[in-house]
Structure 1
Amino acid sequence: MKKLFVLFLLVALVPFSVGCSLWGNDEDLDVIPVTVTAKAVVPAVGISLRAAATSVVGSIYEKYTLTIDGITMKADTYEAVAGTTDVEITFKAEVTQAQKTAFAALIGDVTITVSNGAAVPTTDTAYVNITTAGTFTVTVTAAGITGVAIDGTSLPADQFSTTGYVGITSVKTAGNTLTSTTYASATSLLPVFTITLDDLTLAGAVTANVTAKNSDGVAVTLAATDFTVGDAVAGVFTVTVKDAAEPKKLNDTHKYIVTVNSLGVGGKILKTAATYNFVVDLP
């Protein structure tokens, strides 16, 4: 794959970054013009860039496609970005009204694929977890898709992957298994949660966003900054409530819901946020 991408880059003279607005157009139409911005070095001999939008027909961009969440868009026009050697490519796809509505509010687990559309196409795929709908920017280099940004902010390692997804098989504290329906006992005001993944080969640093809230009427919460996340060893890592969070956040006998909003480890990310219940039950 990497060798193919290097070949693609030599022909298309990229790296380029791709951005697309998720809002579509303002008209009640079935055709959504999804605009994607691509940055490319102008070839020494090749296309002539113009200030106005120009059809991609006959250009190196003619067969490019961008697929987001199963909707494949074809390159339609390109134009020069003033003061640069970059071009802006517009991709379009005809979709149903239901698809248009869903696309406008696209969040959650999203798969993105970029292809040059050659006879033997070079493609690359990224898996992302979007929490807020906005404008995508997909950056592609010789290594493939190397990053995705939403409204100019790059997604962290727990929301971007080129490898795929990972799941959680169990969450335990004090030897008790947490579920989303029953409350397991946490025997400390600073509980340690042991998380086991479904890929036991994963190891190393873990990027995770974990939060908790009270579920029995007491308005207290634990923010992501209230947890310390340990490294993974053979697909297992720990999340611990920090000392500073204990005096004001956790109380004996109260019930809580802890949520693993996102996590990234070994190049994989959590596909869906997962919730688990616990009750502080001091011995």
Structure 2
Amino acid sequence: MSTRFSDRLAGAVGALSPVCVGLDPVLESLPDVVRARHHEPTRAIADFCKGVLDVVRGIAPAVKIQSACFERYGSAGFGVMEGVVAHARDLGLVVIWDAKRGDISTTGAHYAAAANRLGAHAVTVNAYMGESAITPFLDAGLGVFALARTSNPDSDAVQSHALRDGRSVAAMVGELIARVGEKHLGACGMSDLGAVVGATKAGDAAVMRAAMPRQVFLIPGYGAQGGTAEDIRAMLTPDGGGVLVTASRSVLYPKECEGEWHDRVRTAAQAFAREIATVVKPGS
């Protein structure tokens, strides 16, 4: 059985759906019942995150752990993150560490070692320092999602900037990602090096997909940020797959669902998976 990240992810997505739940815990947004049960913020966050994982198992094959939400609490927060990652792995979920690392050579290798020690299967990386900011993670056996076309509105000032040859900066970075990724293909035909392409940037989707035919697109911006399932259609590979769509706030803190918080999260996660299934070919 292949140990490559791309093959692990392909198997998990094929068994369930191409969706990923983002764990971005914000203390003030946690259910009242969870906060009332714990005086220590990190314990409330641990309780909530593990509860979410228990609920979304069997709906989403992957989770994205937002490191900053844990790191802000210092060593206690990092310890909670370690426990959350361990719980996710115990449940059979693919774990993406959203830490947006980005440094070269020895420093990059240290970051990669930290990701492996944490137990992550993949990590988000800032590609804008070039190939040497990406390869330490791949060399360490990790999957990588490199920032290419991000969902934040002010990214346009940099990523949409036109080069002399007419390409955008984002397209140029996409071509870099594709070139590096060719050396790390799995049996599934996709690379261990994927790309972060925001759902709110659907207008650039076709260009980004043409630049990166073998990259899985990790797609933030769905739900609370305004991205829809239709926005994802142009990001698909010719066989109707090649995406992993992530939702955080719309699943963690659903306002339109009823019942206990576990039930609300489950209902929101199921609705998320159903909507993505309307545009992504099953098993892709």
TM-score by length of 1: 0.24
Name the structure with the higher strand share: 1
Q: Which has the higher contact order (CA 8 A, sep 6+)?
A: 2
Name the structure with the higher helix share: 2
Q: Which has the larger radius of gyration?
A: 1
